[in-house]
């Protein structure tokens, strides 16, 4: 019986998606569980697999179409590849042989045996069948050793995946690997060289200096959703930002002393994120309304700490969540953040990684930002912004000394968090980071 390929339910917060790319064409044979189509959502990208074996009879929504959860993407019909009679390979070969022998005598010289041409024809058919199977097997192998994002990037940049070394798990080719390969100078071996062909004059388009060119590019599903949510945040919350500066000298000295033993023991570097996650939790304990949300005319005070850590990816910013961050060690926090960053770039973050969150930390300093006003991540009412560390002259005990300083910013929802409360929250973060030993007591 025909089977519908539908947009799956990914999570409660995802109600629509966009068809990124069909991996099969109408008339192609498919097997159970074989990826058919790639979908983009506002949070994650996913592949939809074939629910049964058969032939992709119809594609209801092509590349670039917006679809709803439960909507039919295509139909898989019973049978084999288009044009097939349904006979087995052996039967097909036996039915083709007489036809070949009918035409063989005409091509043979007088008195010559006709068995050789027939055998040659049959052998050619078998060889082509083997080639097709080998090509299919090779294609399937490429899919297993590369991500969907990598395959899309390879197609767009005319890069041969076979020539790209993978940096992912078990040597899997990632999108970043393809982009690096595309930037390398020299020719790209996309296909094997064949016999020289007559050169056809190619019209070269030259851009005249001063031309006013434009390009219209459709937003990805994630980018469009980010734009919508940011506007909603500004129009629904009473956002206000307060600033302070943190002396990072003690933290930087501690990291320098322990960075190698820490990496040897845990396999990950000791970054700044873990210090600020711990400091934020200490401040949230002291000022619980910054860890709350508004529902109607009620405040929901949350006595757990699911800290979102903003991660930049090529498709846009995502905020995976550290669950029960107060129970995580410094090493566990650094390991989780590293995993999130890698998964964000590879497009393998799950909906569970992104769901929820009670407070967010974003670090624009990794991109060189010295000062900014972060925007809330609704329904949260607080977000902590970190920035670049710069050496600055500071007056300490009547002496001018050079210290490593960072500006920090707290954007909060003034409907629930008072200004004095927000300022004291940021001061508490400053105190804990400037005295790393206090984090152990906290």
Q: What is the mean pLDDT of residues 376-398?
A: 95
With respect to residue 205, please indicate whether it lies within any of the assigned structural domains: no
pTM for the full model? Answer: 0.62
Poorest-pLDDT segment among 39-48, 283-292, 339-348, 392-401: 39-48
Is a pLDDT exceeding 90 seen at residue 250?
yes
Would you say residue 307 lies in a domain? yes
Ranges of beta strands (E only) in 201-277 are 239-247
**Same-domain status, 428 and 323:** yes
Does residue 228 sit in the same domain as residue 283? yes
pLDDT at 312 over 70: yes
Q: Looking at the structure, tell me whether residues 261 and 404 fall in a common domain.
A: yes
Give domain status of residue 305, yes or no. yes
What's the rounded Cα separation, in Å, for the pair 319 and 341?
A: 10
Do 72 and 148 have their domain in common? no
In this structure, the answer to whether residues 177 and 232 fall within a common structural domain is no
- Alpha-carbon distance values, 222 to 20, 145, 238, 315, 440 (Å): 12, 25, 25, 7, 39
Weakest-pLDDT range from 113-122, 189-198, 332-341:
113-122
- Same structural domain for residues 13 and 160? no
Asked, for residue 97, whether it belongs to a domain, the answer is: no
The pLDDT of residue 186 is above 80: no
Asked whether the beta carbons of 274 and 293 are under 8 A apart, the reply is no
Residues 176 and 231 grouped into a single domain: no
3-state class (DSSP) for residue 41? coil
pLDDT exceeds 50 at position 318? yes
Average pLDDT over residues 13-39: 84
Are 60 and 139 members of one domain?
Answer: no
Within a domain: residue 207? no
Residue 11's pLDDT band, with cuts at 50, 70 and 90, is low
Domain count, the chain: 3
| DSSP assignment string, 299-362 | EEE--S--EEE-B--TT--B--EETTGGG--HHHHHHHHHHHHHHHHHT---HHHHS--SEEEE
Structural domain for 409, as ranges: 223-441
Residues in the chain: 442
Averaged confidence pLDDT in the chain: 79
Q: Which of 63, 127, 324, 418 is the catalytic position?
A: 418
Output the pLDDT for position 109. 40
Per-residue pLDDT tens over the stretch 364-386: 999 999 999 999 999 999 999 99
The CATH number of the domain holding residue 145 is 4.10.320.10
Quote the pLDDT of residue 239: 95
Interior angle at CA 37, CA 169 and CA 174, nearest 5 = 25
Residue range 106-159, pLDDT digits in tens: 343 444 444 433 333 333 444 444 454 545 545 555 554 677 777 777 877 788
pLDDT, average across residues 193-203: 50
- For helices 115-144 and 89-107, the axis angle rounded to 10 degrees is 140
Query: At a CB cut-off of 8 Å and minimum separation 6, what does 366 contact?
Result: 312
Catalytic residue among 63, 127, 169, 414: 414
pLDDT in tens, 212-221: 888 888 887 7
Q: How far is CA 319 from CA 30, 341, 376, 390, in A?
A: 36, 10, 12, 26
Which of 48, 77, 106 lies at the terminal end of a domain, its last residue? 77
CB 383 within 8 A of CB 413: no
Q: Name beta bridge partners: 396.
A: 399
Q: Which of 128, 158, 184 is the last residue of a domain?
A: 184
8 Å CB contact between 413 and 239 = yes
- pLDDT of 55 > 60? The answer is yes
Q: 71 and 142 share a domain?
A: no
Task: Please indicate, yes or no, whether residues 239 and 154 belong to a single structural domain of this protein.
Answer: no
Amino acid 210: pLDDT = 66
Burial environment of residue 231 by CB neighbours within 10 A (0 to 12, 13 to 18, 19 or more): exposed
Q: Is 414 labeled as catalytic in the residue annotation?
A: yes
| C-alpha–C-alpha distance, residues 189 and 170, integer Å | 23
Query: Does one domain contain both 174 and 245?
Result: no
- Of residues 65 and 122, more confidence is placed in 65
Clarify whether residues 143 and 276 are in a common domain.
no
In this structure, is residue 89 part of a structural domain?
no
Q: Confirm whether 289 is domain-assigned.
A: yes
Q: What is the CATH number of the domain that holds 310?
A: 3.30.559.10
Q: Is residue 151 part of a domain?
A: yes
Residue linked to tokens 């009679």 = 85
Domain-ending residue, one of 77, 102, 129:
77
CATH of residue 34: 2.40.50.100
């Amino acid at each position: 019986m025909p089977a519908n390929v539908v947009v799956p339910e990914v999570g409660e917060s995802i109600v629509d998606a966009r068809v990124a790319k069909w991996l099969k064409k109408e008339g192609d044979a498919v097997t159970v569980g074989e990826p058919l189509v790639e979908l983009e959502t506002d949070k994650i990208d996913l592949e939809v697999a074939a629910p049964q074996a058969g032939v992709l009879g119809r594609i209801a929504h092509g590349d670039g179409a917006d679809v709803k959860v439960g909507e039919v993407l295509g139909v898989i019909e019973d049978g084999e590849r288009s044009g097939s009679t349904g006979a087995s390979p052996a039967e097909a070969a036996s039915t083709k042989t007489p036809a070949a022998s009918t035409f063989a005598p005409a091509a043979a010289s007088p008195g010559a045996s006709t068995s050789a041409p027939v055998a040659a024809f049959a052998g050619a058919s078998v060889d082509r069948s083997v080639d097709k199977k080998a090509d299919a097997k090779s294609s399937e192998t490429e899919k297993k050793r590369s991500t969907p994002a990598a395959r899309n990037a390879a197609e767009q940049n005319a890069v041969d995946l076979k020539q790209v070394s993978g940096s992912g798990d078990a040597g899997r080719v990632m999108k970043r690997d393809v982009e690096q390969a595309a930037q390398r100078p020299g020719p790209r071996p996309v296909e094997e060289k064949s016999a020289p062909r007559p050169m056809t004059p190619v019209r070269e388009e030259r851009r005249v200096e001063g031309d006013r060119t434009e390009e219209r590019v459709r937003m990805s599903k994630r980018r469009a959703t980010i734009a919508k949510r940011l506007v909603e945040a500004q129009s629904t919350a009473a956002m206000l930002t307060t600033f302070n500066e943190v002396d990072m000298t003690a933290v930087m000295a501690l990291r320098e002393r322990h960075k190698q033993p820490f990496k040897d023991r845990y396999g990950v570097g000791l970054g700044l994120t873990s210090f600020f996650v711990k400091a934020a939790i200490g401040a949230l304990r002291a000022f619980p309304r910054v860890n709350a949300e508004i529902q109607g005319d009620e405040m929901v005070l949350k006595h757990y700490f699911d800290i979102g850590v903003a991660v930049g990816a090529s498709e846009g910013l995502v905020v995976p969540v550290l669950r029960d961050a107060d129970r995580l060690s410094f090493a566990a926090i650094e390991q989780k953040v590293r995993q999130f960053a890698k998964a964000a770039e590879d497009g393998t973050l799950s909906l569970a990684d992104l769901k929820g969150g009670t407070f967010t930390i974003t670090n624009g300093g990794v991109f060189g930002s010295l000062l900014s006003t972060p925007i809330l991540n609704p329904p949260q009412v607080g977000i902590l912004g970190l920035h670049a560390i710069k050496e600055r002259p500071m007056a300490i005990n009547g002496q001018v000394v050079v210290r490593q300083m960072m500006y920090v910013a707290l954007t909060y929802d003034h409907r629930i968090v008072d200004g004095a409360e927000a300022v004291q929250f940021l001061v508490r973060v400053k105190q804990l980071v400037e005295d790393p030993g206090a984090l152990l007591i906290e």
